[in-house]
Every structure is written in C-alpha cells, then in structure tokens.
Structure 1
C-alpha cells in the first residue's frame, strides 16, 4: 500500500520557499544529485541544498551553461548528462559510482515540455524518453549508491499529469503527435515511477515521492510561442504576465521539502504539491490534487516493467 493521499499539516504552503522548508535542517555530510540543477527551479533547489550544507552534484546536458550558472557556489560540482541518450546516462552513473560515494538525495528535476515532435534513441518520443525513461535508467544505475545513502528520491511531475494517463496502446505517439498529451503522459509517468520505486525500495530504507512544483515561468516554456502563452491566459499580447506565478524559490520548495522534511519519515509513494501531500481528485474542475491513475500501483508496476524492457535497466530484477 502507498501512503494515503491526504494532507499532513506541514505548516508550509504555496508561498513557502526552498530556504523556508530547510530552515533548521542540517544537511552537512549529505550528497544530493539534482538533474537540471542549474536552471529555473533546479537552480533554486541547488542553491538551497548547498546553503543547508549538502554537497550537490548537478548532471547537465549543457555543461558550460551549468558551470557558469553555478560559478562561485560552494559545495557544488557539475558533470555531463543527456537524459535522452542512454549511453550518456550510463557514462555519468559509471563515473559517479566509481567515486564510491553514497547518494542521500536524488531529485530528478530536469525535463522538457510541449516540444515539437522529436525522436531520440531508437525512435522514442522525446518527452517520455527525457522526462521519464532517462530518469528511470539513471536512478536504477545509481541504485548501489542510493541504497547505501538510505535517503529519498524525488521525481518532478506536474499538474500537467492530468492531461493524459499512460497511453498503453501508443506510448510513443506513433499514430499522431500531440505535444500537450505527450507532456501529460510523461508527467503521469513521473508519478508512477515514484509510486513503484517506493514499493521496491522501502525495505532498503529508501523512499520516493513525486512533486508538482506549481506554476513558474522558467526556461521550461522555451518551446511555447507567445501566442500560446496568451491563449493559456499566462500573459497578454504585449508579454505582460497576467497569471500569478510562483518564484523559482517557491517552485523549488516542494521538491526540497519532499527530499528532506522529517514530517515525511516513514512515508512514500505519494504526490505532493505546495509543500504538502496532495489530495486525490476526480472532477475536471479541480485545480489541484492528483488523479487516481497516476498513483495506481498496478499501472505503476506495468510502467516499471515497460521501462525496464525499453531501457534494459532494472536494478531490482530477479
């Protein structure tokens, strides 16, 4: 059984920042791996974790950009990683494991959103491959270090998971591409990944969570034309922001909270938002919460099996 999707009274909320949720928490001696930890909310998470004493490893597809963004930040190192390339994922994991270090926190923060139809690897749809399959491979390959660290894995999902469940009959959108449905499926996959990882890893002392960070204007929107953001109600024709967005520091709060909060000790396999465990929702009018299909343990196990088959990587295979 997963932890029920009910609020636990965290004392934090949508306006809380990553620094707020880490106040009083000492991460000295802890090592965190934050994919995409050099841009947007990932950068805010890296800064907050480092300020709390953690050593942060930031695997980056654009290494030079990462090194520039993180320049002067103590306790942070950058390495190369392209989540859309399994060879790159294997290479990064191999380099990390060769250091013999434990991984206490893993935040799978990197991702792409609503991109034009793109194929990577053996023809995989890029959003599913980058947001989900690359992270599935990464965490499984890093499992020896994660198991020794006995900490937490946090998968960055989104309210966008409500755009689509897993399309079991056409996961790779080979029969017509819809960029928003593909994004929704990938974000559902992120939740299901956390659900099944938690079921597999909890006996080893490792727990997993999925997180919706909230609405934030970041480089994640790079593939959206202004006209699309106007249509979404995010801004007007002149580029003036209309929607109330979180700051990157507020957006990073929930993933950092899920990775570190003592209130979550003994819990796992749940979807969190606004620094809280989210409630289950069903109606289309709901503006928060998690859909039942995204936390269904049977679908989570089915997705894990499919991901292991596609990537050839499963640390828990018997």
Structure 2
C-alpha cells in the first residue's frame, strides 16, 4: 500500500489553527475568561520565535493554569510540530495557518446546492462559480498590471519598486510590513568588515527582537526571522535595515516569482523556451507545439469576452485565407 509520505516525501502536513482554537474553547472551561491564559495559548500557536521560546511559553501556560495533567492539552502538545509556527518556520506555507481557503470554496458551492440538487444542476452551479472566479481573477490581473496601487505612505523608492513588481494584494502585505518597520528601532552591534549586524525590535517593547546581518557590498542579508522562508516576503526587521541604508530595490534573489504581476507570463515563457522559438522555422514538431501553447493561452484569455472572441475568430479567418493563398502560390511555382 502506497502511503502519503511515499508519494509526497517533502510535504509538510499542518493542522488548521482556526479549528484548534475552536476545539480548545470546549476544553478551556473556567479559563475562557482568563486573559493571561489566552495570550499564552495564542503565543504558542503563532507568536513564538523558535522552539525554545515555544517550550518555555508552553510550560508557563501549563503551570500557571494547572493543566499539567489535562489529556487534551497533552495530545495537542504531542502534535505540536503540526500546528505551531515556531516549529515550521523553515517551510514555505505562504503564511496560511488555516483551511480557510478550502472552507470558502465549500461555502461558494454549498450556498446554492443542497442534498436534493441533481448532478446536472450541480454541474451548472459549478460552471457558473468557476466562470465567476476566473472573470474576477482576470479583472484583478488586468488592473494590477496596468495600474499602480496607491499608498497611505509616501512612495519612497522601496515602496515604489514593490508596487511595480508585486501584485496589489502582496503589495498591501508588504505595505503593512513597511508600517511595522517604521515602528521599530534598530541598534547596531559590533561590526565585522563590511558585515553590519542590527538588533531590530518594536520601539515600545523589549520583546520581539530579531537580528539582521547586512552585507553592504553585495546586499546579502542574513536574518533570524524566518518570514522570507515561510511567506516568501521580507519581514519588517529586514525592511527597517534596508530603509536605513536607503536601498531602493529588492534584489531578484529575494523576490518570489509567484507573488509578482508577471508570474503567469513567466510561466508561459518557461513552457516556450527560447531554443524552441529559434528552431521553430526548421523543426515542424517543435513549432506546432509552441504554437499550440501560445494559441491555447490566447483562447483562454478570450473565451469569457464576446468581443475578444470575435476579434480572435476574425484573425483566424484572415490568417486561414492568407495561408491558403500562400500555399496555392507555392504549389503553382513548383509546377
């Protein structure tokens, strides 16, 4: 029997934090109104920096609340690697901590369907829902590429650059991190050659300090915060250091392609490599493959817009006429 680890050996199974919080409510009992307990529990979920901090916070919560012998919390601790962010900060998860996306998908379909809905009717609902999703996605993609998002902050070079590179939604996330960065203070630690080490922490608190090592000569960054691995985007600590050094652009090595405005274009370019384009005139099979990919991409973009479909159909008719005329002329020349 084939198991999941054999099929997906590098996959990281996670538990939904939202469901853990909901299940925990039934086990809190008198602790439901204990603010100190709730703060410690939430910190264990996604507020700890590393494993040692998690263990310390968990022990304090269990001791202060008298939960050392509680069976549910024992089981929860046993599976801690599946839900605590402190133990998963080396794995990319796009910042997703719950199954909210799956739940929203179920809701989008479920509010129109019921147990008595026939398969035919359900398929119609499904098609309509997917068509709406794709239309919304295309609209956002169109607006994101052809417009610039506004900001409540002055568009310094770093914000301006990210607004040009990231999608609107990811730019908003970066903008929030930028705002957090402006609320931190950075203390420079002993310097070793061109390597600068900063201790960055919230201005109004002594907690949450992170270390950022910055190499000015080639803009190499080392950091103790793992947000770049988990989210694929700089955290406020790194942004603070970059802003202090008047860095106006993020190097490509630190930009996750999937978060950029042109990720789809890059995907199609990978499917249509340059060597195939160069050899297209001499290699009929490769040329047919490249044209099928390009045409399919264009058809996908047009199929939801009647005007676009008409333009594509007219071009196909015109191209067919010109090709037929050329082939006829070539056949006459051969005779």
Indicate the TM-score class for this superposition, using the shorter chain for normalisation.
under 0.3
Which structure has the highest helix share of the two? 2
Normalised by the length of structure 2, the TM-score is: 0.22
Higher RCO, 1 vs 2 (CA within 8 Å, ≥6 residues apart): 1
Bigger proportion of residues as strand: 1
Q: Larger C-alpha radius of gyration, 1 or 2?
A: 2
TM norm structure 1: 0.23
